[in-house]
């Protein structure tokens, strides 16, 4: 889990640096374009062994790459934030849709509860609000909140046979219920 998270982080580094992603292309040095060997691609360790420089052209490998890999290795649950941080660090800009990544922050802890929400295929705004509420709600209140919001939403769909659910009212309902009873 930790190693996979660190590999993802080094993947994100390349993606953010080049602004594009290719699964097939071999990893190469951004300065001299030399294709990197396997031992130069080990997350966390390679940067230390190479002392933060390319083996051939000696150009610097940004310290934030190493930092991102270390953070991702130690805190896999924060991987989406590591990605957003890399992007923000480089461009001082993140797209609003990328905030959806934050939804996955809650998944490891609340996975079974978050699942119905994903099935609802709710809109971007709905998901953003859920993300926001997941941050301000106490941790123990978040699972019941998601459960009430999604179950009431699903019930509404089943009862009215509507195709487009206005989900925010159900989010609000769940939020008020959870806050009232907790
Ligand atoms: Zn190089």
Q: Distance, CA 54 to ligand 1 centroid (Å)?
A: 5
Minimum mean pLDDT among 37-41, 99-103, 176-180: which range? 99-103
Between 53 and 128, residue with greater pLDDT: 53
Between 154 and 105, residue with greater pLDDT: 154
Q: Distance, CA 3 to ligand 1 centroid (Å)?
A: 25
Q: Distance, CA 53 to ligand 1 centroid (Å)?
A: 8
Confidence of residue 21 (pLDDT cuts 50, 70, 90): low
Q: Distance, CA 50 to ligand 1 centroid (Å)?
A: 11
Q: Distance, CA 35 to ligand 1 centroid (Å)?
A: 9
Q: Distance, CA 133 to ligand 1 centroid (Å)?
A: 45
Q: Distance, CA 91 to ligand 1 centroid (Å)?
A: 23
Q: Is residue 55 pLDDT above 60, yes or no? A: yes
Q: Distance, CA 18 to ligand 1 centroid (Å)?
A: 15
**DSSP string covering 80-137:** HHHHHHHHHHHHS---GGGGGGGHHHHHHHHHHHHHHHHHTT--HHHHHHHHHHHHHS
Q: Is residue 112 pLDDT above 50, yes or no? A: no
Q: Distance, CA 24 to ligand 1 centroid (Å)?
A: 20
Q: Measured at the alpha carbon of residue 63, what is the angle toward residues 62 and 65, in degrees to the nearest 5?
A: 75
Between 71 and 142, residue with greater pLDDT: 71
Between 39 and 123, residue with greater pLDDT: 39
pTM comes to 0.56
């Amino acid at each position: 889990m930790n190693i996979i998270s660190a590999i993802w982080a080094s993947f994100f580094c390349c993606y953010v640096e080049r602004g594009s992603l290719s699964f097939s292309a071999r990893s190469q040095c951004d300065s001299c374009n030399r294709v990197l060997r396997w031992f130069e691609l080990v997350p966390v360790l390679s940067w230390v062994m190479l002392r933060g420089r390319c083996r051939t052209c000696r150009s610097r490998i940004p310290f934030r790459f190493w930092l991102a890999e270390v953070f991702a290795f130690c805190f896999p649950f924060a991987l989406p934030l590591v990605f957003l941080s890399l992007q923000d660090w480089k461009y001082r800009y993140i797209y609003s849709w990328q905030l959806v990544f934050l939804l996955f922050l809650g998944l490891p802890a609340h996975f079974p509860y978050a699942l119905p929400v994903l099935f609802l295929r709710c809109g971007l705004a709905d998901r953003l609000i859920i993300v926001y509420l997941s941050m301000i709600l106490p941790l123990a209140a978040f699972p019941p909140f998601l459960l009430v919001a999604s179950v009431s939403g699903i019930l509404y769909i089943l009862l009215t046979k509507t195709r487009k659910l206005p989900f925010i009212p159900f989010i609000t309902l769940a939020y008020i219920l959870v806050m009232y009873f907790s």
